[in-house]
Amino acid sequence: MDMRDIAKLAGVSSATVSRVINGFNNVKPATAERVRRVIAETKFYPNSSATTLKHGKSSTYGLIIPDITNPFFPEFIRSFERIMVEWDRDMFMATTDFHASRVQQSIRRMLIRKVDGVALLASEIETEPIEALIHNRVPLVTMDRRLTGPGLSDVLIDYGSGMDEAVKHLKRLKHRRIGYIGGSVGPTISDHRRDAFIATMKDNGLKAEQELIRAGNYRIPGGETAMLELLALSHRPTAVIAANDLTAIGAMRTIQKHGLSVPEDISIVGFDDIELADILHPPLTTLRLSRSELAGIFFKALEALRSEPHAQGQQYAIRSGLVVRGSTGPAHSE
Amino acid sequence: MDMRDIAKLAGVSSATVSRVINGFNNVKPATAERVRRVIAETKFYPNSSATTLKHGKSSTYGLIIPDITNPFFPEFIRSFERIMVEWDRDMFMATTDFHASRVQQSIRRMLIRKVDGVALLASEIETEPIEALIHNRVPLVTMDRRLTGPGLSDVLIDYGSGMDEAVKHLKRLKHRRIGYIGGSVGPTISDHRRDAFIATMKDNGLKAEQELIRAGNYRIPGGETAMLELLALSHRPTAVIAANDLTAIGAMRTIQKHGLSVPEDISIVGFDDIELADILHPPLTTLRLSRSELAGIFFKALEALRSEPHAQGQQYAIRSGLVVRGSTGPAHSE
DNA sequence: GTGAAAGCGCTAACAA
DNA sequence: TTGTTAGCGCTTTCAC
């Protein structure tokens, strides 16, 4: 069943059917009505492959995320998908599970499907697949990579603003030995966060001790392991800031398993503010990053590059802000 | 850049380029090598729209889920995506947020994109969009709808098997007044679960009291509200089984907010065994439904119908099993 | 206001 | 082993 079949049944040409489907107004209302009736009766759906082939554009954006089981991403996807549906775009999602090879594979698939742009929220970024995108004039919007170029925009996560609030909050609670559990070693995005921590500590007249800075992996087990190391120190931190909420949850679990309490013994601050943060015991103090705002920025950035895939990209930014809940309290005086 | 360009650069015809890309072995190795080099140099990616148009098949399956923020689904998606990538298929995901109109919209998009099949895990099912699928010979695999037909398969969730374990477990702990918090009112899938509860209670010589059976909405707030109602009863249940883990979490929160303890005052049993179930306080006793197994069954069902979209569908089934953790304990004697 | 027809990039049947 | 070519379903220009 194609447009020619519809045309035949409605006694018109396929060109007219196309015009009706695409809502052109230069069709006589009676004719349009007749065509629409046939379409409904036959349950006809136009074939998007033909349209994409014709236009060279698919009205689809690719979305690459590292870990769909981190609640931050489903919450992001929900917002992103809503915007896409509203604007009549399709979303093509892929997960990397933190493997660079999966990023490459995903980008390959997206190039084959002729997506109109890629939103890359994973941090396992290699230059080769990115060059393939740029070379094929497919716009790319990255997260916190802090690099722009032709067809390449970036959304900076202003970790610093929230981090400053967090450190000031802890300082007010008399914390001096503040630890940090970062993300995976390697990706620059992890470095940005760690550097923000160190800089903020300094700005607030506190020392960021080397031994209190550990690496995690953005997941619960990473937080557990890192916290274990911190607990083994002769001189423990009284508060710990984590690179994301899952890491913070892992840290909290370890503390509690050791018979210690949050926040009585150690205060914990997360990052993201996943919905879950509010149902934990104690509820997590965290730096909020708005998923819907982030989704909106990504969409805006993609649209801006869609019409002109080789235009100079932009640097966007999104702020984070402290949400105080139960996982932070006065410093445990030793 | 298309195959003809590649062909020209490699001094062959586009047919040969196509053969090389698709791994046909009737190309002289030297020629193939030359073509491959040109492809690599030009970073060429074939246009899948053309292939889809030609074949009438897209190697894509649609996946419709109700709520991506319910951790069950990301965990399912991860398994499903892995299988898809392994078998060189693409996944086209859509979320309904529990709206029937969004199901319809999603199916529309999938028909337009010519997916080779749809996995429908949402329960907001209306006959119209389903007919559109069948009419267009797009196979459909549903979850626990218990209906099959030409091009229509179903995966039954054997709630009963696990439910029996759960009730026996609670009975052994001396529970007699066992409540149930179900899913949304309406979808038959919710009815199946509730009926399984009632039947199982009866089988075990217990009475499923009407006033102890409440409806939720598969989300945390639904569990909270329903539990509030149960707590308001003059004769409260000593144990509650929930239609999914989020509902169970909501119920637990309400109990704890009221100064009561789980499981000392009331025992809670969930359904799904999301990863989160293990990090709660107390960890949740729940009926496990394997995401990877479920994903495998859906894939198998889709593949079986792909080659013959109008073949008679099959009824598949998946079992659930009890995982005992900390949220169940001896009945509180009143 | 409507139709005829070319062509988007790929595949596969057929020819050489 | 390789090339020629028709055609998948749609859009759009041009003609009427």
pLDDT per residue as tens digits for the range B184-208: 877 677 888 899 999 999 999 999 9
- Contact status, residue B321 vs residue B148, Cβ threshold 8 Å: no
pLDDT of residue B125: 81
DSSP code at position A307: S
Q: Rounded to whole angstroms, how far apart are CA atoms B30 and B206?
A: 76
pTM score of the predicted model: 0.94
Q: pLDDT tens per residue, chain B (334 residues)?
A: 999 999 999 999 999 999 999 999 899 999 999 999 999 999 999 999 999 999 999 999 999 999 999 999 999 999 999 999 999 999 999 999 999 999 999 999 999 999 999 999 988 788 888 999 999 999 999 999 999 999 999 999 998 889 999 999 999 999 999 999 999 877 677 888 899 999 999 999 999 999 999 999 999 999 999 999 999 999 999 999 999 999 999 999 999 999 999 999 999 999 999 998 988 889 999 999 999 999 999 999 999 999 888 899 999 999 999 999 999 999 977 5
Query: Distance between CA A153 and CA A145 in Å, rounded?
Result: 9
Please give the pLDDT value at position B334: 56
Q: Do B48 and A113 touch (CB under 8 A)?
A: yes
- B7: nt with nearest C1' to CA: D3
Tell me, what DSSP letter sits at residue B210? G
Are A183 and A216 in contact, with CB atoms under 8 Å apart? yes
| Mean pLDDT of the region A235-251 | 96
Q: Is residue A125 very low, low, confident or very high in pLDDT (cuts 50, 70, 90)?
A: confident
CB neighbourhood size of A104 (10 A)? 17
Query: What pLDDT sits at residue A320?
Result: 94
pLDDT for residue A221 is more than 90: yes
B78–chain A Cβ distance below 8 A for any pair:
yes
Å: A305 CA to C1 C1': 37
Residue of A41, A47, A64, A72 to mutate for B, most B C-beta atoms under 10 A: A47
- Minimal CA separation from A138 to chain B, in Å: 12
Q: What is the pLDDT of residues A261-309, one digit of tens each?
A: 999 999 999 999 999 898 888 999 999 999 999 999 999 999 999 988 8
Neighbours of A258 (CB within 10 A): 13
Distance between CA B255 and CA B108 in Å, rounded? Answer: 43
A133 C-beta neighbours (distance < 10 Å), count: 23
CB B302, CB B139: distance < 8 Å = yes
| pLDDT at residue number B156 | 95
Backbone angles phi, psi at B71, to 5 degrees: -55, -20
A98 lies within 8 A of chain B by CB = no
Q: Which amino acid is at A13?
A: S
Which of A84-93, A96-105, A121-130, B148-157 is predicted with the least confidence, judged by mean pLDDT? A121-130
Q: List the single protein residue with the shortest CA to C1' distance from C6.
A: A54
CA–CA separation, B159 vs B76, rounded Å?
18
List A residues 216-245 in contact with B (Cβ-Cβ < 8 A).
Answer: 220
Question: Which residues in chain A have Cβ-Cβ distances shorter than 8 Å to B47?
Answer: 53, 112, 114
Is the pLDDT at A333 greater than 80, yes or no?
no
B51 CB contact with strand C at below 7 Å: yes
Strand D footprint at Cβ < 7 Å?
A 2-4, 14-15, 18-19, 21-22, 46-47, 50-51, 53-55; B 7, 11-16, 19, 26-28, 30-32, 50, 53-54, 56
Q: What is the structure's pLDDT at B307?
A: 84
Cβ-Cβ contacts under 8 Å, A135 against chain B: 43
Q: Which residue of A has its CA nearest to B275?
A: A69
Query: What integer pLDDT is reported at residue A334 of this predicted model?
Result: 56
Can you tell me the mean pLDDT for A7-32?
A: 95
